[in-house]
Chains A and B, each alone.
Chain A
Amino acid sequence: MPIEVILPKVDMDMETGTIEAWHVKEGDLVRQGDTIFEIGTNKAVMEVEAPASGAIRNIKAETGVPISVGTPVAWIYLDGEAATTPSEPAAAAATVAAATSLPKAEAQVAPVMAAAPTSSGLRATPLARRIARQNALDLKTVTGTGPRGRIGEADVTRHLEQRPRCTPAQDARPAPTLSTNVSEGRLQPFSAIRRIVANRLSESMRTAPHFYLTSEIEMSAARDLLGRLAKRHERIGAPKPSLTVLIARIVARALRDHPVINASVEGEATRFHERIDIGIAMERDGDLVVPVLRDAGGMDMPAMTREFARLREGMAKRTLTPAELGGGTFTISNLGMYGVDSFTAIINPPQGAILAVGRTVDKPVGRNGQIVLRPMANFTLSSDHRIVDGVAAARFMADLREALENPELLL
């Protein structure tokens, strides 16, 4: 019997996944453990290994189309099995019918077509869903203006009008217009991660009332400390610490005294997290990913530096699990290394706050009646006003300033 290759469940709350890319093609011989495709969940992209050795046959799943967990996507024919037998179970064929019935051209341009009808918890009128289907539009990207956020016809129409002209027309044959009209530029469908980022951040801006507090903080002491830590780490064989890690360490300590900043919105309640898990916003191949320093509150600098290095490497090699890429309780985004002075970040939902770190630059400041140069950096905290009030955020910023300017106080 051929071995079924199913779309695996790689994350706890995963219901559908999208095959981002096939690493094999029809008829390829694979060895058990070989990577055969990449799967995008709502948190990360994972590689899926062949469950057996043999020839890949009957690849049923298009890339870019959400598929239910457990759906067979291909079969591996073992040695000696008649590889030509089209013996995939009928039920499986039916399950993926929606996906496979897409014309190829359409699937490439409109990778999310099947999402709308299956997405759970999405409020949309039947007409809105119909129009979305016809236009290969993912309703998750549409903002509903109806009662309780319900998406109606007008919302979809408005969305379609605002969409670039590459939108598949009603007959879903957009490719020719794309290739003949160079002035419109290149159309790149969202990757799974881009889609997640787009959806989550839109949702955050839509639902979380953001407010922003900026503090300009002197970094002399932090810089000195970083220098001393670098020497110590070298001695004990730990990686060289970066400013980001030091900030994460100090933030983690400060968060201990500010449970409301280390909290999330959960329906109409505030979830206070016992553990401090700090997500660090990073870039990978043009995508925004946020690996998480678990229990950052309980780590010393060497441990945190090592963990941070491990996450970076895992990210580059794409070996991180979805669990390592989600579920933080607070996020830090540092763009200082790009020369950004200061910025405001969008909260990573359902977290209640995010800290945006700008570059450290020598600036004239007043000290004891003298103008002196000091390394200064802007820290901007974005808070969700549903759970964090101005004073609470300001207190956190005050403590953060004190800790960064006097790191020895943390001892």
Chain B
Amino acid sequence: MPSDTLEAVSEIRELSYAEAVREALAQAMEADERVFLFGEDVGVYGGAFGVSGDLVHRFGKERVIDTPISELGIAGAAVGAAITGMRPVLEIQFSDFVTLAMEQLVNQAAKIRFMFGGKASVPMVVRLPGGSGTGAAAQHSQSLEAWFAHVPGLKVLQPSTPHDAKGMLLAAIDDPNPVLIFEHKLLYKTKGHVPAEAYRVPIGKAAIRREGTDLTIVGSSIMALKAEAAAERLASEGISAEVIDLRSIRPIDFTTIAESVRKTHRLLVVYEGVKTMGIGAEISAMIAESEVFDFLDAPIIRLGGADAPIPYNPVLEKAAVPQEDDIVTAATNLVRRGEA
């Protein structure tokens, strides 16, 4: 690659989230012929959200494979391919449909390496467009990442920026373990700086998006962006919020969260998945169990999705998940009154 010119361009280059994912796929396929794509309408149609785009034309139908509508079949074939040395990257068209692939992901992909004493591994990547906000109703809008974060043997990622979407996907393809990447549908069109070269963003390392002193807001995926926007508004009200983008749910970067809370003494966890039994509960408990407990100056607050199926009605749909205003309110209450 003529790196001189490319790097010069990369400094000012902006890509959408979807383009960044596509670029990662293309670069991985170029670099390693074992990498192939797999999923419903990922080929000629270019993917339900246009992520795979023209890849079928660049790499051929042998490597960008349209599958029947059978998530269990897709996942099972991917597990098989991975065990036999391939590097499958599959797309579950809407992450909600992953329910049909649970057997292969949870009982097979996650466990094979351990049950065979490391003699087999399952280097597969599953991309799952998820989240609400598109008017797609209860069966096409869920945020199910916490389910998988509960399973030892799986890695679960939630990149929030085009930069991380590319870098984490490449890191996931390198990883010898099954990795699930939840991509929020509302993020696909967001743009950001994306270097042209094939870089990696390490799995299991959170990013501090904004430094602050009054409270720590932890979020991932689109909630990290909402937290950043909220932090900007909070700053104008004299509240200094530190924003941590988890990026990786499992493994989780507890050290970064703990160090931040040790500094700010207050924690607000924001996530789109259903609040009850969710990621926020895990993070809260980790803090409560750790030595950082002694640094808390207020209860830990979770802002999570409503205990309800995502409504179709757009007003209710918005109300069912944390919004920027909710984060501002909760953070203000936490800092000013001691609770949200």
A306 at interface, CB cutoff 8 A = no
Give 1 or 0 for each of B278-301: 1 = CB within 8 Å of chain A CB.
000000000000000111111000
Question: Shortest beta-carbon distance, A157 to chain B, in Å?
Answer: 10
**Contact, CB under 8 Å: A126 / B295:** yes
**Contact, CB under 8 Å: A127 / B297:** yes
**Contact, CB under 8 Å: B294 / A152:** no
**Contact, CB under 8 Å: B338 / A152:** yes
Question: Shortest beta-carbon distance, B301 to chain A, in Å?
Answer: 12
Give 1 or 0 for each of A189-230: 1 = CB within 8 Å of chain B CB.
000000000000000000000000000000000000000000
Instruction: With A127-B265, A153-B265 as known contacts, state yes or no: A147 contacts B338, CB within 8 Å.
Output: yes
Give residues of chain A (284-311) contacting chain B, Cβ–Cβ below 8 Å. Answer: none
Query: Which residues from B are CB-within-8-Å of A153?
Result: 265, 297
**Contact, CB under 8 Å: B338 / A128:** no
Query: Which residues from B are CB-within-8-Å of A159?
Result: none
**Contact, CB under 8 Å: B337 / A130:** no
Number of CB contacts from chain A to chain B under 8 A: 33
Query: Which residues from B are CB-within-8-Å of A126?
Result: 293-297
A19 to B182, CA, bound (A): 62
**Contact, CB under 8 Å: B338 / A127:** no
Looking at A126, A129, A150, the one whose CB has the most chain B CB atoms below 10 A away is: A126
**Contact, CB under 8 Å: B337 / A127:** no
Query: Which residues from A are CB-within-8-Å of B298?
Result: 125, 146, 152
B339 at interface, CB cutoff 8 A = yes
Question: Shortest beta-carbon distance, B336 to chain A, in Å?
Answer: 10
Give 1 or 0 for each of A132-150: 1 = CB within 8 Å of chain B CB.
0000000000000011001
**Contact, CB under 8 Å: B294 / A127:** yes
Question: Shortest beta-carbon distance, A133 to chain B, in Å?
Answer: 9
Question: Shortest beta-carbon distance, B1 to chain A, in Å?
Answer: 52
Looking at B295, B338, B339, the one whose CB has the most chain A CB atoms below 10 A away is: B338
Q: Which residue of A lies closest to B262 (CB)?
A: A127
Query: Which residues from A are CB-within-8-Å of B297?
Result: 125-128, 152-154
Query: Which residues from A are CB-within-8-Å of B293?
Result: 126
Q: Which residue of B lies closest to A150 (CB)?
A: B338
Query: Which residues from A are CB-within-8-Å of B265?
Result: 125, 127, 153
Query: Which residues from B are CB-within-8-Å of A130?
Result: 294-295
Give residues of chain B (302-340) contacting chain A, Cβ–Cβ below 8 Å. Answer: 337-339
Question: Shortest beta-carbon distance, B153 to chain A, in Å?
Answer: 34
**Contact, CB under 8 Å: B296 / A127:** yes
A127 to B294, CA, bound (A): 5
Question: Shortest beta-carbon distance, B241 to chain A, in Å?
Answer: 17
Q: Which residue of B lies closest to A144 (CB)?
A: B338
Question: Shortest beta-carbon distance, B179 to chain A, in Å?
Answer: 36
Give 1 or 0 for each of A241-263: 1 = CB within 8 Å of chain B CB.
00000000000000000000000
Looking at B265, B295, B296, B297, the one whose CB has the most chain A CB atoms below 10 A away is: B297
Query: Which residues from A are CB-within-8-Å of B294?
Result: 126-127, 129-130
Q: Which residue of A lies closest to B338 (CB)?
A: A146
Q: Which residue of A lies closest to B337 (CB)?
A: A147
Apart from A125-B265, A126-B296, A146-B337, 19 more pairs, CB < 8 Å = A125-B296, A125-B297, A125-B338, A126-B293, A126-B295, A127-B295, A127-B297, A128-B297, A129-B294, A146-B298, A146-B338, A147-B337, A147-B339, A150-B338, A152-B298, A152-B338, A153-B265, A153-B297, A154-B297
The residues of A with any CB-CB pair to B shorter than 8 Å are 125-130, 146-147, 150, 152-154
For this complex, 8 residue pairs linking A to B, each with C-beta atoms less than 8 Å apart, are A125-B296, A125-B297, A125-B298, A127-B265, A127-B297, A128-B297, A146-B339, A152-B338
* Pairs A-B, 4 closest by C-beta atoms: A146-B338, A127-B297, A130-B294, A153-B297
